Structure 1
Amino acid sequence: EAVEALNNLQTNAAYIRQAPKHSAENTTLQDTHKFLV
Protein backbone atom coordinates (compact mmCIF):
# COMPACT_ATOMS: atom_id res chain seq x y z
CA GLU A 1 0.00 0.00 0.00
CA ALA A 2 2.85 2.37 0.81
CA VAL A 3 4.47 1.56 -2.53
CA GLU A 4 1.23 2.30 -4.34
CA ALA A 5 0.93 5.64 -2.54
CA LEU A 6 4.51 6.51 -3.52
CA ASN A 7 3.83 5.60 -7.15
CA ASN A 8 0.75 7.81 -7.10
CA LEU A 9 2.79 10.72 -5.74
CA GLN A 10 5.38 10.26 -8.47
CA THR A 11 2.64 10.16 -11.10
CA ASN A 12 1.03 13.29 -9.68
CA ALA A 13 4.37 15.10 -9.54
CA ALA A 14 5.07 14.23 -13.17
CA TYR A 15 1.63 15.50 -14.18
CA ILE A 16 2.04 18.72 -12.19
CA ARG A 17 5.33 19.47 -13.99
CA GLN A 18 3.61 19.02 -17.36
CA ALA A 19 0.31 20.72 -16.58
CA PRO A 20 -0.43 24.41 -17.16
CA LYS A 21 0.02 26.50 -14.03
CA HIS A 22 -3.49 27.92 -14.36
CA SER A 23 -5.11 24.48 -14.52
CA ALA A 24 -7.62 23.92 -11.74
CA GLU A 25 -6.86 20.21 -11.85
CA ASN A 26 -3.17 21.01 -11.44
CA THR A 27 -3.95 23.06 -8.34
CA THR A 28 -5.91 20.16 -6.90
CA LEU A 29 -3.01 17.78 -7.45
CA GLN A 30 -0.59 20.22 -5.83
CA ASP A 31 -2.88 20.51 -2.80
CA THR A 32 -3.16 16.73 -2.61
CA HIS A 33 0.61 16.37 -2.86
CA LYS A 34 1.15 18.86 -0.02
CA PHE A 35 -1.37 17.00 2.11
CA LEU A 36 0.19 13.59 1.49
CA VAL A 37 3.74 14.83 2.07
Structure 2
Amino acid sequence: RHRSPLLLRCLEDYLAGQRFPLSLVHTDISVTEPASQQG
Protein backbone atom coordinates (compact mmCIF):
# COMPACT_ATOMS: atom_id res chain seq x y z
CA ARG A 1 0.00 0.00 0.00
CA HIS A 2 1.37 3.41 -1.00
CA ARG A 3 0.69 7.00 -0.02
CA SER A 4 -0.95 7.78 -3.33
CA PRO A 5 -1.77 6.22 -6.70
CA LEU A 6 0.75 8.62 -8.23
CA LEU A 7 3.63 6.97 -6.35
CA LEU A 8 2.61 3.56 -7.64
CA ARG A 9 2.36 4.93 -11.19
CA CYS A 10 5.84 6.46 -10.92
CA LEU A 11 7.30 3.16 -9.75
CA GLU A 12 5.55 1.25 -12.52
CA ASP A 13 6.83 3.70 -15.13
CA TYR A 14 10.38 3.44 -13.78
CA LEU A 15 10.32 -0.36 -13.75
CA ALA A 16 8.94 -0.36 -17.30
CA GLY A 17 11.97 1.66 -18.43
CA GLN A 18 10.17 4.96 -18.91
CA ARG A 19 12.38 7.89 -17.99
CA PHE A 20 11.40 11.55 -18.11
CA PRO A 21 13.61 14.64 -17.84
CA LEU A 22 13.38 16.68 -14.66
CA SER A 23 12.41 19.65 -16.83
CA LEU A 24 8.91 18.13 -17.03
CA VAL A 25 8.31 19.15 -13.42
CA HIS A 26 6.59 22.53 -13.21
CA THR A 27 5.59 24.55 -10.15
CA ASP A 28 2.97 27.25 -10.58
CA ILE A 29 4.09 30.69 -9.39
CA SER A 30 1.14 30.81 -6.97
CA VAL A 31 2.84 28.14 -4.85
CA THR A 32 5.69 30.48 -3.91
CA GLU A 33 3.68 33.70 -3.52
CA PRO A 34 2.59 34.76 -0.04
CA ALA A 35 -1.10 34.10 0.60
CA SER A 36 -1.82 37.84 0.94
CA GLN A 37 -0.83 38.46 -2.71
CA GLN A 38 -3.00 35.72 -4.20
CA GLY A 39 -6.16 36.94 -5.91
TM-score after normalising by structure 2 = 0.36
Structure with the bigger RCO (C-alpha within 8 Å, sep 6+) is 1
Larger helix proportion of the pair? 1
